[in-house]
Structure 1
């Protein structure tokens, strides 16, 4: 059991991470251990390049995305995004992960501000009985 959260969106990485930077990273999509341990994974982009020796597939990472397509226990989402920011100095992380918990009104985001992953919760205002905000 536990509390499940639906997570959508992505944290973009500029410049994209190279294969040399990520090839041993546990957050690669094909690494099942990474999916079990982290709330985010690397979004891998593949580009086929013609060379004199044949076609080369160049892999880079342009973003962090949710580890799972379905709702999951996102207890450490902010910490895991920060871990990746800290692991790759010299790269800029931007964008957001939108989160919606099981309970009504449980909405929040993970954004990157000045190199820090931050949890942001909205202010929900109800209009008074006269219809004024």
Structure 2
């Protein structure tokens, strides 16, 4: 057993990815064959659209989310987010992943800023001690 990290949150994708854009992606749910790689997956929405030839199933990917992985060992999460962003030019990824390790001081986030995945660590700030006894 190794050090594990709990990850929650998501990146919404605007505009949503169309089927031709994501169907062959390693992040598409139907293409994942490993129990741990990739650790991120596209959330796919399905909508039935009426056409002259009958109902058509329309699939779009609206978000990038963390997979359900028992005992997730964070190795390269920032790089994996960047790979997803790079895979879909012309789309904006908004949101964040909140990461918490086993140690109580191991807190950080992954955000996308100007098209780059960035790890953000919190700053601890003590309140002003003036006037305290």
Q: Same fold (TM over 0.5)?
A: yes
Match of 1:64 in 2: 64
**Shift in CA distance, 102/131, structure 1 to aligned 2, threshold 3 Å:** farther
Runs of 4+ aligned residues of structure 1 deviating over 3 Å after TM superposition are 126-132
Given the two structures, how large is their TM-score scaled by the length of structure 2? Answer: 0.87
Note if contact 1:26-1:33 (Cα within 8 Å) is conserved in structure 2.
Answer: no
Match of 2:11 in 1: 11
Match of 2:91 in 1: 91
Match of 1:115 in 2: 115
Report the Cα distance in structure 2 between the residues aligned to 1:120 and 1:47, rounded to whole angstroms: 36
Given the two structures, how large is their TM-score scaled by the length of structure 1? Answer: 0.87
Note if contact 2:14-2:62 (Cα within 8 Å) is conserved in structure 1.
Answer: yes
Note if contact 2:46-2:57 (Cα within 8 Å) is conserved in structure 1.
Answer: yes
What does residue range 16-31 of structure 1 map to in structure 2 within 5 Å? 16-31=16-31
Shift of 1:29: 2.1
Structure 2, unaligned stretches of length 5 or more?
Answer: none
Note if contact 2:27-2:84 (Cα within 8 Å) is conserved in structure 1.
Answer: no
Where 2:2 maps in the other structure, the secondary structure is: coil
Note if contact 1:35-1:41 (Cα within 8 Å) is conserved in structure 2.
Answer: no
Higher deviation after alignment, 54-63 or 113-122: 54-63
Number of aligned residues = 132
Q: CA RMSD in A?
A: 2.1
